Structure 1
Amino acid sequence: MESGAKKTIYTAENIYFFRHALLRDAAYQLQLPGDRARLHGLAFEVIDPPEPSPLDAVDLSPVTRHAADASAEELAGHALQAADGGDSGMARERFRGLHRLYLRRAAERMDRGYRHESACVAWQTFAEFVAGSERGEALRRAGMAAHSRGKLKEAEELVSRSVAIHRQEANRRLEGMALGYLAGIYRDTGRVGQAQRAYEEALAIHRDAGDRRSEGRALGSLVGVYWETGRMQEACSVAEQALATLQEFGDRRLEGIALGNLANLYQHMGRIEQAETAFEQALALHHDAGDPRAEGLVMGNLGILCQRTGRSERAECVYERALALHREVGNRRDEGITLVNLGGLFVDLERYEDAERAYRQALAIHRDVGNRRSEGIALCCLAVLCQKTERSEEARSTFDQALIIHREVGDRRSEGVALGNLANHFRDTGRTEEAEHAYALALDIHRKVGDKRFEGAELCDQAVFHLSQRRVKEARDGWRSGAAILQALGDSFELRRKTDEMREACARAGVAPLDGDLA
């Protein structure tokens, strides 16, 4: 044996378990196919509780939770094996129905446990055993699981198939639901025009069907599209319509979601007191409804508000509370996202070691759950931190990693943001031509995806670059254009931050502030 090689130790217990497994498998293989099927049927009856789940539970509505759900994956496997070799046609059909039932129960349990990769596979498997609108809905759920993992291309393909099936089946209600979810994928990948058209088509379907609840949800989804494209009054009006519509049903969870959306809009518009009030109301609704997952999401957004209004101590406490809620329910995806936001707070406070720790924890989570989109965003944040801490080579390589992921998943918006940050890196390291090119690419993407906020911020950053090149007229023109966009959006926090950076750059260049003669 080679020196240093690890020696395997065989205990009596290990030997016993190995022999037992070997004999058990041999005994199973010696059974005739029909006998094996009966054994699986017996195993199913032993595991399934005395009060069985209703056999008609496989429909389009959510399945009621049942004691058997903990064993749903195992039960689905036994039912399939029993169906393959049952004694009679009636028995085989019964076990096929039970296989479908428990396969769906297993998929829903995976969703509840945030096992998105397993859920995506389970829903697609379930779709193979059903037809029509039920198959369409299973594919939508598979797409939702893929989306939660940041697999945007896979999610789009699955949800597009769902829309096509519901359209073919003339199931307008489910077509509208799937179309609305597809619109969200378009928005996440920077195709704001397509997103708006899909949301508006879904909204028309819900109104035509008289489905007020889904109408309220679709209205809420349109809010973000209108805000991103600079249509602030429309965004505010639609957000208030969505809230009023959903309040009709007395569903505290849906009302809380609508209030959270309205609070985010108020925050972006600089209406801070209204935003904070709406966030607190949304938190109370989710708490009363016993929905810690939604409570954690709102808490994370409240943390952003506190951070943007300079209340750093409270922001940290709120982020920590959001993290505790995400961990309580096992929501690792949003735990990772919140850690990135907490890392951003630490960067603002120049607590760079804490920031790096938070970013790396987030990266580990995103990689573990397979959330590629959020992994790319976290890498971009880490790259900016490397730049701030004078690790130029590491910053560049980390930006490159982020860009590879953004392009892989088709996230154009985040690609534009990463290119803008890379342009700042080139600017600060004296790589003039590369900075010029990266700013142009970033602005082109922001304009193509219709993201007004990042277009405004990018123009302000580019103005600082032009100042460093003594191109004062270009700097002033670009600054005014960018500042006007941020002002129109009501984003006072970002405008204030960019103004401070611009004035520092003007002082270094020995020129008057670019906003000096603005009213």
Structure 2
Amino acid sequence: MIAEQAYLFRHALLRDAAYQLQLPADRARLHGLAAALLEDLVASRTLDASGTNLQGEIARHLRQYREISNDNSRVEAEIRHSEQAAEQAERLYDNREALQMWLGAAEIGPPVVRARALLRAVGLALTMGLAPEAWNFAKAALAAAEAGSSAELVAAAHCAWGQCAQYSGDVETAAKALQTALELVPPECGKLRAEILGELAWLHDDQGSLELARQEYEEAIKVCRSLHDPVGEGKMLCNLATLHRLASRHELAQDLYRRSLVLFRSARARKFEGVAESGLGASVAMTDGEDEAARHEERALEIFQEVGAKSHEGIALANLSVRLNRQSEMEQRLELCSRALALQLESGNRYGTAAAMRAMADTLRRLRRLDEAGALLRDALAIHQSMKDPRNEAQTHYFLAKLLSTHDRDSANRHFEAAIACAESIHDQAVLSDVYLSLGTRHLHDDQLAEARHWLELSLDRATLAGLAERQAGARANLGEVLRREGRLQESLDSIQQALSIYEKLGYENEHASCQCGLALTLLQMGRHAEAGDCWKRGIGALRQLAEESEMERHRVEMMRLCAHLGVEPLKDA
């Protein structure tokens, strides 16, 4: 605002005192005047030099004018500016401002306007981790849509209700609401139909109904294509790619990610281009190694920084940190995690904040800063519980259990049990596989071989059911050690070699090196001393390069114990 059109105050308290001295009628007149002056400015530009969302300023002045004067003659203008301000805030990834503006429009708008604004508020609330508020907005949106007799908005409200239910782990309610939405959506509302199909596919994917999810994604893709909607089609392709990636069908996943990238670039949808680059990086890590994956993550990070998507930038930083696996890289990894957490806190994304806390806690665990790691995990757990998010609650219980296993087994057992209960409630095979693998490994370290085999076989079953290659390898590697100690040497050899093959394909250096050491012990027990020696040197040499001192020591202790039992010379490191 130029100087001739404003009072200039050197201190906010002086400004507020001057404002309070004005009579109510004068306050209302000043707010009306300010709104009119800003409307003149906004006709030529949306943002002033400081980056202020002028639409939001206009809406606030009009609100003050209405509340002080009880004059509703400018309500339509207030609604319009509130909606435009919310759209602008969403483009700038200012979720708090956007939510406030949508709720402002909903408060004073007629039923149809109210329903549309509340539906936008549902999405923002879920993004920010405000699950109870999202439920309330969805319920109010449905009532407003019904009052406005809008079939499209009624269907959209049922879809929003289903999203809230799925987010909170209420699978039955989610399925019912989404199916109702699909039945109610008018034929001419193709984009909404595609969105509902995408939500159903996501729900069925979470439940392990992968074929049904694939069919729904492909139907949604056809709808978007018929509507010439490249962004919608790209989003569905990206989701379908993620489905195949999590099922370890990486060649197909990468093709779909690349197809979505073409669409996003053609539509100049930069944020979604970054999302596709990030997903492609996660898949490439499984086939082409960490360096190539990091290149995709770096491109995603550049895009998110360019468009100002702070929450997505935080996710990209956390993903990049995961690429740093060597012990010597842990301080650098911690710095990336710290930046990721700061961005999530700044953006107000509670889901992202908890995810960043978990990533930082894992890094602190690797640095042996266990108390700090535990505190972060408990904070993350509290967030997931308040959000009614059983999937991530299960994962966080699991991480806490692993952390506590070395020094507080009773507490660890309670967290393992809670992780299993949460994971079983939503059929999360990945978390169940992880928990069973950890329990099996713990019994193995205690030399309780029958119990170890029981849990490891359960872990392998779950990982195989869900197509999770990394977890299959972990279960097979540990089963190989159990079988060796039981004297079932050929079975041990086969199991470890299968794990080695998976780790080599995935590019997991640490796990591959550890597996080499385990294979050496099986070969030694089989009497194949020369092969055992070569295998041992490769494994220990790789672990030394990776600075995995604790893992080296664990294998040396087991090797010395076996050599003493067999009456043979210890294997040489080099």
TM-score range, shorter chain: 0.7 to 0.9
User: Does structure 1 residue 415 correspond to structure 2 residue 406?
Assistant: no
Q: How far off is 1:332 after superposition?
A: 0.7
For 1:36 and 1:127, locate their aligned partners in 2 and report how far apart those are by CA, in whole Å: 25
Q: How far off is 1:295 after superposition?
A: 0.7
* Alpha-carbon contact 2:460-2:471 (below 8 Å) kept: no
User: Does structure 1 residue 456 correspond to structure 2 residue 433?
Assistant: yes
Match of 1:276 among 247, 251, 254: 254
Query: Which residue is 1:75 aligned to?
Result: 58
Match of 1:156 among 128, 132, 135: 135
Gaps of 5+ in 1: 1-15, 54-64
Query: Which residue is 2:172 aligned to?
Result: 193
Query: Which residue is 1:285 aligned to?
Result: 263
1:162-211 deviation digits (Å, cap 9, x = unpaired): 233324544331122233233233333333333223222222222x5553
Q: Give matches, 1:327-346, under 5 Å.
A: 327-346=305-324
* Alpha-carbon contact 1:120-1:146 (below 8 Å) kept: yes
* Alpha-carbon contact 1:268-1:490 (below 8 Å) kept: yes
Amino acid of the structure 2 residue aligned with 1:270: S
Query: Which residue is 2:105 aligned to?
Result: 126
Secondary structure in structure 2 of the residue aligned to 1:297: helix
From the superposition, tell whether residues 193 and 486 of structure 1 become closer, same or farther in structure 2 (CA, over 3 Å).
Answer: farther
Amino acid of the structure 1 residue aligned with 2:219: Q
User: Does structure 1 residue 242 correspond to structure 2 residue 220?
Assistant: yes
RMSD: 3.3
Q: How far off is 1:257 after superposition?
A: 0.7
For 1:454 and 1:122, locate their aligned partners in 2 and report how far apart those are by CA, in whole Å: 39
Higher relative contact order (CA 8 A, sep 6+): 1
For 1:270 and 1:313, locate their aligned partners in 2 and report how far apart those are by CA, in whole Å: 19
Q: How far off is 1:262 after superposition?
A: 1.3
Q: Percent identity?
A: 26
State the TM-score, normalizing by the size of structure 2. Answer: 0.76
User: Does structure 1 residue 406 correspond to structure 2 residue 384?
Assistant: yes
Secondary structure in structure 2 of the residue aligned to 1:351: helix
Match of 2:144 among 157, 162, 165: 165
1:334-378 deviation digits (Å, cap 9, x = unpaired): 111222211222137862122111111111111122222222222
Match of 1:230 among 205, 208, 228: 208
* Alpha-carbon contact 1:213-1:246 (below 8 Å) kept: yes
* Alpha-carbon contact 2:105-2:113 (below 8 Å) kept: no
Q: Give matches, 1:331-370, under 5 Å.
A: 331-347=309-325, 351-370=329-348
Q: How far off is 1:230 after superposition?
A: 1.9
From the superposition, tell whether residues 382 and 369 of structure 1 become closer, same or farther in structure 2 (CA, over 3 Å).
Answer: same
Query: Which residue is 1:484 aligned to?
Result: 461
For 1:170 and 1:18, locate their aligned partners in 2 and report how far apart those are by CA, in whole Å: 52
From the superposition, tell whether residues 466 and 165 of structure 1 become closer, same or farther in structure 2 (CA, over 3 Å).
Answer: farther
* Alpha-carbon contact 1:300-1:318 (below 8 Å) kept: yes
Gaps of 5+ in 2: 1-7, 499-574
* Alpha-carbon contact 1:461-1:498 (below 8 Å) kept: no
Query: Which residue is 1:57 aligned to?
Result: none
Amino acid of the structure 2 residue aligned with 1:48: E
For 1:355 and 1:469, locate their aligned partners in 2 and report how far apart those are by CA, in whole Å: 32
Query: Which residue is 1:47 aligned to?
Result: 38
For 1:21 and 1:448, locate their aligned partners in 2 and report how far apart those are by CA, in whole Å: 54
From the superposition, tell whether residues 219 and 244 of structure 1 become closer, same or farther in structure 2 (CA, over 3 Å).
Answer: same
Q: How far off is 1:255 after superposition?
A: 0.9
* Alpha-carbon contact 2:169-2:391 (below 8 Å) kept: yes
- 348-357 vs 131-140, greater mean Cα deviation: 348-357
From the superposition, tell whether residues 36 and 463 of structure 1 become closer, same or farther in structure 2 (CA, over 3 Å).
Answer: closer
From the superposition, tell whether residues 197 and 24 of structure 1 become closer, same or farther in structure 2 (CA, over 3 Å).
Answer: closer
Amino acid of the structure 2 residue aligned with 1:485: R
Amino acid of the structure 2 residue aligned with 1:146: A
- 127-136 vs 35-44, greater mean Cα deviation: 35-44
Secondary structure in structure 1 of the residue aligned to 2:323: helix
Match of 1:109 among 75, 79, 88: 88
For 1:420 and 1:265, locate their aligned partners in 2 and report how far apart those are by CA, in whole Å: 23
* Alpha-carbon contact 1:223-1:236 (below 8 Å) kept: yes
- 391-400 vs 75-84, greater mean Cα deviation: 75-84
**Number of residue equivalences:** 486
Query: Which residue is 1:296 aligned to?
Result: 274
* Alpha-carbon contact 1:402-1:418 (below 8 Å) kept: yes
Q: How far off is 1:479 after superposition?
A: 2.3
